[in-house]
Chains A and B, each alone.
Chain A
Amino acid sequence: MNWMAKTRSSAPASAGVASAKPGPASSGNLPATLRVSNGLKEFLWLISDVRHGRILDLGPVWQSTVSFFVDKGYRVSAEDLLRTWKDFLTAEEEHLRTAPIAEDNEKISPSLLTDKFLETALQYPEQSFHGVLAWDLLDYFDPVVVPILMKRLSSILHPGGAVLALFHSRPVERFQRYRIVDSQTVELLSAPTIAVHAHVFQNREILSLFDQFRSSKTFVGRDQVREGLFLK
């Protein structure tokens, strides 16, 4: 995949929710739950060269998202990372509560917890995926945890693979999930809060998170959500 070549020749319009591209890329008439995503559009464009590519969706599994990719010839894996993390933390708390005190000599730290979490989560062979949909989940993890997750994400991504991630520029009031409607629209679905918004990443922090990637692009929408597209 040649990101730079594509970028030079026919990259989608730069930033903003309402794309300069003709057609339905404008968000003007969309219901509030729908969001035009230039990041998604470019994500799809970047992975379009891959035949029978593999996609990892780190959000909940949705029929529309699975069908969208399957219909295009991709294979989809789903792992609701945030829910898995929450379930893991709940189990750990339960274990700590019931374990004999003598077993608790080991100090609990976020990084240790994350290492333990990754013994069962994101268990895929290296370079398994050509695209990862991270949505906004990185906002919900402790900033100490995120770089560890990023290292794993990077390892399971194929060289030339892309990550789509969203970052809120202010604390999130409502917990939402995302699913793909079409090639440039995602639907925002209110969901029971399973995690609180942990951190607002500044642009510099975002770029630092993805410093193992060879290229990155961000789009800021009218809703102040920054979409990041990162190419390994």
Chain B
Amino acid sequence: MWDKKNEAKPSSQAAEVPAPIVSTPAPEPVTAAPAARVTSKISSGLKIHGDVFGDSDLYVDGEVQGKIRLANSRVTVGPSGRVQAEMEAREIIIDGSVQGDLKASDNVHLGPSSRVVGSVLTPRIAIDDGARLRGKVETVPANPSRESSVAGDAPDSQNLRPVSAGAKAE
């Protein structure tokens, strides 16, 4: 629905949206990611109700309600993005508004315009001045096997049990 083809040629539904399609954001440094990744976009003016899952990176500048599970990918919520969803991904970058828990197997970055209400569970977190967070920050050991760290339907709490940075699991 929001794959690369639709980006290149906006659908009639997207064309009705007055807001411009957001261009691909400047690439962030991606660690240990495949060289050529596809970034899908939910542009400003689009609303998604439901679960989002798969393997491509995702850029959200529209609205999402539901769940976002992209275990091996990067999820970026742009400045206009509004997400009401639990998010699981390898890397999560927030510059917009999120209501829901964030769970990343690599890192979370809260940008200066980010507004987050929810918990953050990640091995690494970067918080820019101006970011707003209402919730807890828990760090977990980086999982060497990212492929399975947040993926799958089975509970992954064994891998993501809240522990202190640099410490062994409780």
Q: Point out residues on A near B: beta carbons under 8 Å.
A: 52, 54, 60-63, 66, 70-80, 83-84
Contact = CB atoms under 8 A, between A and B. Distances in A.
B137 A77 contact: yes
Contact of A70 (B131, B133, B137): B137
Contact of A63 (B126, B135, B138, B166): B126
Secondary structure call for the B interface: strand
B137 A66 contact: yes
Interface residues of B, number: 22
Contacts of B127: 61-63, 66
Interface in B109-160: 110, 125-129, 131-139
Contact of A79 (B131, B134, B138): B134
Contacts of B6: none
B136 A63 contact: no
A73 B136 contact: no
B139 A70 contact: yes
Nearest to A61: B133
Contacts of A75: 136-139, 162, 164
B19 interface: no
B33 interface: no
A77 B167 contact: no
Q: 10 nearest interchain CB pairs?
A: A73-B164, A77-B136, A63-B127, A61-B133, A70-B165, A76-B137, A78-B133, A75-B138, A79-B134, A70-B139
Interface of B: 110, 125-129, 131-139, 162-167, 170
A52 B133 contact: no
Given A61-B127, A62-B127, A63-B128, A73 B133 contact: no
Contacts of A61: 110, 127, 131-133, 137
A66 B137 CA distance: 8
27 contacts: A52-B167, A54-B136, A60-B132, A61-B133, A62-B129, A63-B125, A63-B126, A63-B128, A66-B125, A66-B127, A70-B164, A70-B165, A73-B164, A73-B166, A74-B164, A75-B138, A75-B139, A75-B162, A75-B164, A76-B137, A77-B136, A78-B137, A79-B134, A79-B135, A80-B132, A83-B132, A84-B134
B107 to A, nearest CB: 13
